[in-house]
Amino acid sequence: MRNYNFSAGPAALPVPVLEQVAREMLELPGAGASIMEISHRSKKFEEVIAHAENGIRSLLGLPEEFHVLFLQGGASLQFAMAPMNMLAGSKKADYIITGAWGQKAIKDAQKYGAARVAATTKESNFSRLPESLDLDSGAEFVHFTSNETIQGVQWPQEPQTNGVPLICDASSDILSRPIDVAKYGLIYAGAQKNIGPSGVTVVILRDDLLQKCASDLPPMLDYRVQVDNKSLYNTPNTFGVYVIGLVCDYLQSQGGLAGMQARNEEKARLLYDAIDSTDFYTGHAASNCRSRMNVTWRLPSEELEKRFIEEAKAQGMVELKGHRSVGGLRASIYNAFPREGVVALVEFMKEFERKTG
Amino acid sequence: MRNYNFSAGPAALPVPVLEQVAREMLELPGAGASIMEISHRSKKFEEVIAHAENGIRSLLGLPEEFHVLFLQGGASLQFAMAPMNMLAGSKKADYIITGAWGQKAIKDAQKYGAARVAATTKESNFSRLPESLDLDSGAEFVHFTSNETIQGVQWPQEPQTNGVPLICDASSDILSRPIDVAKYGLIYAGAQKNIGPSGVTVVILRDDLLQKCASDLPPMLDYRVQVDNKSLYNTPNTFGVYVIGLVCDYLQSQGGLAGMQARNEEKARLLYDAIDSTDFYTGHAASNCRSRMNVTWRLPSEELEKRFIEEAKAQGMVELKGHRSVGGLRASIYNAFPREGVVALVEFMKEFERKTG
């Protein structure tokens, strides 16, 4: 039996996508072989990667000036790759730190250039957004993390940067809602939360930023090489790219990003309403930046939290334990997580409070 | 209908493995979710990655002093990562160049340290092995490419280095035959030819070399960080690791690496015998270094080669076109390529010569 899987990532995928992958595993239609067995230089794979790219372009409404790449190494490799490409020489960048991933991003960036903290909410244990930003108008870019998976803190809209391009680690909310792409110079995201399996990194890069990138980097770490070769400098994660294309079709069938936003907001509201309706549960994130993807909350004691996790698991609701740095509970409810799973959790929360509260 | 798929990579996988992947796609036994949906920090994935690691250890007979990692970025990223870790300071390395991949490897290495050509067979269009090596006894390592996929040139056994550890790009012959692991300090290989899907890189690193690695590299590019975190510094290609584990089981069931060697040698012999039995076909590689993985040969004219490829394709034998730098034909017959496909190709070769020769 399939569980309600609240994993923070790799996370739930749409069942129709999994069914199609299973059906096509021995023979991708028209290929005479599994998607895992065909050359990345074949016509068939050209179709597969174009399908995935077009899916992302269409969902986000990306203009031609953006390149779409399918790389490897996750956001963690982009933490180094973005500044290697964009901060060589004496260039400067501002980083806004609202959680654990932003902290990792700036640490790598400081190896490659003048990366500076424009704001941090560390003193609140990353439970809120910064009240103001100390921005350098000479910065090449402003980096932010649109959704901090561990803390459950999400920007309701982009930070204001007076025209300096945003670089966004969108690993945990990409394709979960419409965004204003004109504000972005670079968006990168590991696929494994909202749009596919782990092992593929989607990189969306505006051409004017590409033109200013460093050269003479190792080819795998050089955005120019990756763009010039359309993600095929070496063998990409062909299976992962295929799954992303199927997930994009699924998202389109659900009303595109506006449809996903409505569904994701409703799922999150059900959970936050349950948290807010009682003092038994306490949300971690401030209400103006509560994540629609990762809902984080506490119970009155660690003992009760442990019992909650165990009893929920016994009812097929798994992966609810919060990250150790925040504690408590975390329910990750990305794109593919079903509404009925949220309803089941809310029922369980009420019953658990009745029994123990 | 499944074709006979002679792709140089991503390449044929064992049918029983594909069938198991399809069967378990919606629900990995005991997980309540797809392998793509479970956390890389879950107990279930710990089992999956341990299974893949133990499979590789057992097949190769790896002693404890070797670490086994599952990284991303393919051999192409290892071209940079290995020297970043191992040549920092004023360390030196020798590279033996027997084809296109070796050329790429040294180009990246020279960005990070004193990487020197100990031998090259470029003047023969990489059709043979070097007659002698100009080795520096002070080198940290000697790098070689055990099988050059494009040219179809394979080392029948390791080059002699007087005790200097070998670093091997084994992307296109890993787990295709037994090797003398004691000679190696580092083996790296993209999985997509012999042991799994693309998007996972297997890295096998001896502990004494790890201890001499540079520090303060970006964590994703730092062997120490990857070893300390047992490949889980960030989210690995979880699906790819799972498939590698299943392929290892399959290889074990076929008699392990000795069994694979016997099968692979027989497949290659059938093809080389067909090439040698007539002047109509001409092998590219010298007979003492003919690859058991990629058989490269020419026909009397490019026109005939084109016709050969088209007519073979019409009979369900696909991906036979050689790389443009060598021309002609290439049949890649890795671990999972079935003997009956080789027999079918040999029959076709005879018939094609009879018709056109």
Predicted ipTM of the assembly: 0.97
Q: What is the pLDDT of residue A1?
A: 81
Catalytic-residue membership of B155: no
Nearest to B72 among A19, A72, A238 (CB): A72
Mean pLDDT (chain A, rounded): 97
What pLDDT does residue B190 have?
97
Task: Select from A235, A246, A193 the least CA-distant residue to A51.
Answer: A246
Beta bridge partners of B242: none
Instruction: Kindly report, residue by residue over B132-157, the tens digit of the pLDDT.
Output: 999 999 999 999 999 999 999 999 99
Q: Which of B94, B108, B173, B193 is catalytic?
A: B193
Q: How many angstroms away from the CA of A118 is the closest CA of chain B?
A: 22
Find the CB nearest A2 among B3, B23, B26: B26
Mean pLDDT in chain B? Answer: 97
User: Which residue of A6, A7, A36, A217 is the best one to mutate when testing the B interface, meaning the one whose CB has the most B CBs within 10 A?
Assistant: A36
Distance CA B123, CA A304 (A): 73
Evaluate if residue A357 carries a pLDDT over 90: no
Do the chains contact at B10 and A236, CB–CB below 8 Å?
no
Between A and B, how many residue pairs show a Cβ–Cβ distance under 8 A? 215
pTM: 0.97
At A90 the pLDDT is: 86
Considering only CB atoms, A5 lies closest to which of B12, B19, B33, namely B33
Q: Average the pLDDT over A28-50 and give the result.
A: 96
Contact B200 A197 (CB under 8 A): no
Mean pLDDT of B35-52: 97
Contact A236/B199, CB-based, under 8 Å? Answer: yes
Q: Could you say which of A32, A219, A237 has the minimum Cβ distance to residue B199?
A: A237
The predicted model gives A346-354 an average pLDDT of 98
pLDDT digits (tens, 9 = 90+) for B148-194: 999 999 999 999 999 999 999 999 999 999 999 999 999 999 999 99
Say how far residue B351 (Cα) sits from the centre of its chain. 32
Residue of B nearest to A83 (CA): B218
pLDDT of residue A43: 95
Q: How far is A144 from chain B (nearest CA, A)?
A: 19
The pLDDT-based confidence of B216 (bands split at 50, 70, 90) is confident
Closest approach of B278 to chain A, Cα-based (Å)? 30
Instruction: Say if residue B73's pLDDT is above 90.
Output: yes
Confidence tier at B256 by pLDDT (50, 70, 90): very high
Chain B neighbors of A75, CB-CB under 8 A: 234
Contacts of A13 (CB under 8 A, 6+ apart): A196, A197, A243, A247, A336, B34, B36, B37
Chain A residue nearest residue B15, CA to CA: A26
Q: Strand, helix or coil at B345?
A: helix
Please list the active-site residues of A: 101, 169, 193
Residue A340: its H or E element: helix A339-356
A331 chain-B contacts, CB cut-off 8 A: none
Classify residue A163 as left (phi > 0), alpha (psi -120 to 50) or beta.
left
Q: What is the pLDDT of residue B252?
A: 98
Q: Which of A18, A219, A238 sits opposite B10 (nearest CB)?
A: A238
Q: Which pLDDT band, with edges at 50, 70 and 90, does A255 fall under? A: very high
Is B208 marked active-site? no
The catalytic residue among B169, B173, B297, B321 is B169
Please tell me the distance from the alpha carbon of residue A243 to that of residue B264, in angstroms, as a whole number. 32
Whether A192 has a pLDDT exceeding 90, the answer reads yes
CA distance B263 to B51: 25
Query: Helix A256-276 to helix A339-356 angle, to the nearest 10 degrees?
Result: 0
Beta bridge partners of A153: A148, A290
Two tokens at B73?
């970025």
Residue B127 predicted with pLDDT over 90: yes
Q: Give the pair of three-digit tokens for residue A253.
A: 């069938």
Which of the four pLDDT bands, split at 50, 70 and 90, describes residue B90? confident
| pLDDT for A213 | 96
Cβ <8 Å between B198 and A32: no
pLDDT at A89: 86
**pLDDT attached to residue B357:** 79
Q: Which of A39, A106, A231, A323 to mutate to test the interface with B (most CBs of B within 10 A)?
A: A39
Query: Can you tell me the mean pLDDT for A223-249?
Result: 98
Give mean pLDDT, residues A222-245.
98
- Using alpha carbons, list the distances in angstroms from residue A73 to A95, A186, B42, B171: 21, 16, 20, 18
Cα–Cα dist B145/A317, whole Å: 48
Closest-CA residue of A relative to B317 is A32
The two tokens of residue B39 are 């956390």
